[in-house]
Structure 1
Amino acid sequence: MRRENITRKKRLDRFSLKRKIKSIGPKLIPFLKTFCIYFVLWLPPSNPSWFSAFIKCLPVLCLGFFVLAHGISLGVLRPYSQKILPGLLFSALGDVFLTWGDQGFFVHGMLMFGISHVLYTCAFGLRPLKLWIALFLLLLGAIFYMGVYTYLEGPMVYALAGYVLVLGVMSWRAIARACCSSYDWSWGRGCTATGAVVFIISDLILAVDKFCFALPHARAVIMSTYYIAQMLISLSVVDHSERDSLWKRH
């Protein structure tokens, strides 16, 4: 009986996914357009301006509009979306600071993204716990930090350590939500887990390129993976239900 229920649920999930794709596709058009505009304009980072900052953060702002529009279509902005939305806004603010990163605002940008990851973590909740995922990510984070440590100096020594920690915690919660039984699994949880992994890849390349040595096509890879990660996390609001919230569990 349980196997039949799982099979039925998978069929319903596939049907629901197709229906959701048709529903959310038009709402993602602003993001997809601004994503393309960023790469078409490809404004040089060596000459930062408010226009270049606006173009850089515009795709993430469009994702914020997507989350808000989805809430309006439901008639209510659920607690999960209420955390994802400000997380996107803090990310956009981080993009603004990083536009002038070489002028001394890189740490400010890291702080904004750190707050964003904390908000995402609160949205994802603490169940299921899956401590083995946390330990694995902690080990990877420690190995990465030790590899970059010798290139750091000043406040960046502590700032990067803190950022690696909050990114790791956010990724732990995102991946843990997806590592559940096949009956409880949903495509939204898969989106958050995939988004977290892509976020790690994007930030890892950014750190190596900025602090260690230049990587070929680094900016294109960093920005494309970053936008994709934010899109995947944003898409999870469509699939989220109240039972996913930690605060409603017990």
Structure 2
Amino acid sequence: MLSWVAVCFSGLLHINAAYKGPQWQFYLFKPLTIALMMLIGVMGGEANSYTYLILAGLAFSLVGDIFLMLPKDRFIPGLLSFLVAHILYSVAFWQQFEGPMVWWLPSLIGAASVIVFLLLLPNLGPLLIPVGIYIAVIAQMAWGAGEFWMNAQTQVAAHAFGGALLFMMSDTVLAFDRFKGPFKTSVLLIMSTYFCAQGLITLSILS
């Protein structure tokens, strides 16, 4: 319990620093929050492929966080790091799936993803293809988590699906903030949903 209090405290310090400073706090507590989740997963997760894939996804997320925080624009390396993280999460979720697919689920997720892509399209410029690929990968990650939950109906699957949906929400707000223009509450929305998403995915290896 205390370990999750530390995670929440670290995440809140990062969000607060994004608005009020100091700068060192902003740079320290974002990666530290994910590192704490990794530590919780290492200490409490079972020794199986699902745990290892989720931990690897968290590690690539941490690298992506660092790239996106650097003073110089490192958007493409950050995007690639999170792309790998989503692929690792996808493999973890799809490995847990057994049984018939629910086909309306990818239809809903796919439709939402296409709408987001079309809204961003006029502003993407040379990043059209990388962003399009990223949206497709995170959409199928959420689809895999959703199929896992619809089939298993377990707490583990619920945490995975909830985390995947929050990740989609976080990245959607991030994309609009970057390509359509920043707005005052963007950091709060992006980081709160992001930390909650990673927290739920981490919980899925502990349940």
2:37 matched to 1:68? no
Render the CA deviation track for 1:185-239: whole Å, top value 9, x for unaligned: 1112111111111111111111111101333311111111100000001100122
2:136 matched to 1:165? yes
Percent identity, aligned pairs only? 25
Partner of 1:175: 146
Correspondence list, 1:128-167, <5 A: 128=99, 129-154=101-126, 156-167=127-138
Structure 2 letter corresponding to 1:62: L
Higher relative contact order (CA 8 A, sep 6+): 2
Q: How big is the shift at 1:141?
A: 1.1
2:186 matched to 1:203? no
Alpha-carbon distance in 2 for matches of 1:203, 1:48: 23
After TM superposition, the score normalised by the length of structure 2 is 0.89
Partner of 2:54: 84
Partner of 1:113: 82
> In structure 2, do the counterparts of structure 1 residues 40 and 142 end up closer, same or farther at CA, with 3 Å as the change threshold?
closer
Alpha-carbon distance in 2 for matches of 1:194, 1:203: 14
Q: How big is the shift at 1:94?
A: 0.3
Partner of 2:8: 32
After TM superposition, the score normalised by the length of structure 1 is 0.75
Partner of 1:41: 17
Which runs of no fewer than 5 residues in structure 2 stay unpaired?
A: none
Alpha-carbon distance in 2 for matches of 1:136, 1:201: 14
- 1:54–1:96 CA contact under 8 A, matched in 2: no
Alpha-carbon distance in 2 for matches of 1:170, 1:79: 17
Alpha-carbon distance in 1 for matches of 2:55, 2:145: 16
Secondary structure of 2:109's partner?
helix
Secondary structure of 2:105's partner?
helix
**Which consecutive segments of 4 or more residues in structure 1 shift more than 6 A?**
none
Structure 1 letter corresponding to 2:196: I
Which runs of no fewer than 5 residues in structure 1 stay unpaired?
A: 1-24, 240-250
Alpha-carbon distance in 2 for matches of 1:44, 1:88: 27
Alpha-carbon distance in 2 for matches of 1:35, 1:223: 8
The higher radius of gyration belongs to 1
Alpha-carbon distance in 2 for matches of 1:110, 1:159: 8
Structure 2 letter corresponding to 1:108: P
